Amino acid sequence: MIADVLTVMWKEWKELYAQYRKADLNLLVSVLAIAFLGVFPALQAGERWMSSPMVLIFSGWVPLILVSGVIADAFAGERERHTLEPLLASHLSDTSILIGKIASAVSYGWGHALFMLLIGLITVNVIDVGGGFLFYSPSILLAGILLSLLGSGAAACAGVIVSLRAPTVKYAQQLLSSASMLVFVLLFIAARSAPIDWWGISSKELVSNLIIYTTLILALLDLALFLIAKSRFRREELILD
């Protein structure tokens, strides 16, 4: 099955690359957005960026936005371009197709989130030239890597659920981008209403608890969404749609 998943990922990446190559502007927007999200908050927070849980909010939200942009195409796009029929008529299993689609979107979102962490690291070190080399605290780095992976996973699974039944790519994109914005607004409201100074938070215990609970919630969400996506993947319904 791994070989089949890699095959689907190979095709997805090829298509994504071809799409970017065709529209250089897309690539530029993507790089600028990541640079902005990596540079701007790090500039604002300075060396506190290296240990602030705010890093985790950005790590979770950035892949959500990026993944929802590409995953909308996963099935709705294949249906629109009539490439779904030959794919379903191949001997690839339902699980390989599903995991391949999800994994390629996850790798896209996660890769960008890691790139954003790197940009933040460079920014903080550039503005703090005299203060020696600064690096993320181990717990923040680990949580940043893990949460961006789980955030990408949740966005990809949710995106697949929408894309499987969406009549058009545009419809799926609109639904997913609205959902991403809603998640961002809810996160923002929750963060503002909590009696915590997010930039200056110093309690290691609080940070650890935040990381552990967020990771657990996201992991469970990923699993639940994947199982829903798997249960909605029915060759017959996809053909009849």
Partner 1 sequence: MFAIQTSNLSRHFGTIKAVDHLTLNVPRGIIFGFLGPNGAGKTTTINLLLGLLEPAEGSAKVLGFDCSTQSDLVRKHTGALFEHSGLYERLSVKDNLEFYARIWRLPRGLRTSRIHQLLNHFALWDRRDQIASKLSRGMQRKLALARAFIHQPTLVFLDEPTSGLDPIAAAHLHDDLLAFCRTEEATVFLTTHNLPEAEKICSQVAVISNGRLLTQGSVDELCKAKMVHQIEVIGSDFDEMLLSTLASSRGVLSAKGDRGRLILEVDEKADPASLSHAIISSGGRVEEFRRVRSSLEDVFLALMEGENDR
Angle CA 180–185–186, to nearest 5: 95
CA distances (Å), origin 73, targets 55, 91, 135, 160, 163: 29, 22, 37, 9, 7
The nearest distance, CB 75 to partner 1, in angstroms, is 14
* 241 contacts partner 1 (rule: CB under 8 A): no
CA distances (Å), origin 106, targets 42, 134, 194: 24, 29, 30
Give dist(CA 212, CA 53) in Å, integer: 12
Within 101-130, the residues that bind partner 1 by CB under 8 A are: none
The nearest distance, CB 177 to partner 1, in angstroms, is 22
- The candidate with the shortest Cα–Cα distance to 241, out of 232, 34, 42, is 232
According to CB under 8 A, which one of 1, 28, 32, 89 is a site residue for partner 1?
89
φ, ψ of residue 194 to 5 degrees: the values are -75, 140
Give dist(CA 194, CA 191) in Å, integer: 5
* 85 contacts partner 1 (rule: CB under 8 A): yes
Nearer to partner 1, 17 or 188 (CB): 17
* 7 contacts partner 1 (rule: CB under 8 A): yes
Nearer to partner 1, 82 or 192 (CB): 82
* 232 contacts partner 1 (rule: CB under 8 A): no
* 236 contacts partner 1 (rule: CB under 8 A): yes
Nearer to partner 1, 205 or 236 (CB): 236
Three-class DSSP category at 34: helix
The nearest distance, CB 12 to partner 1, in angstroms, is 10
* Positions in the binding site for partner 1 (CB under 8 A): 3-4, 7, 10-11, 14-15, 18-19, 22, 81-93, 235-236, 239-240
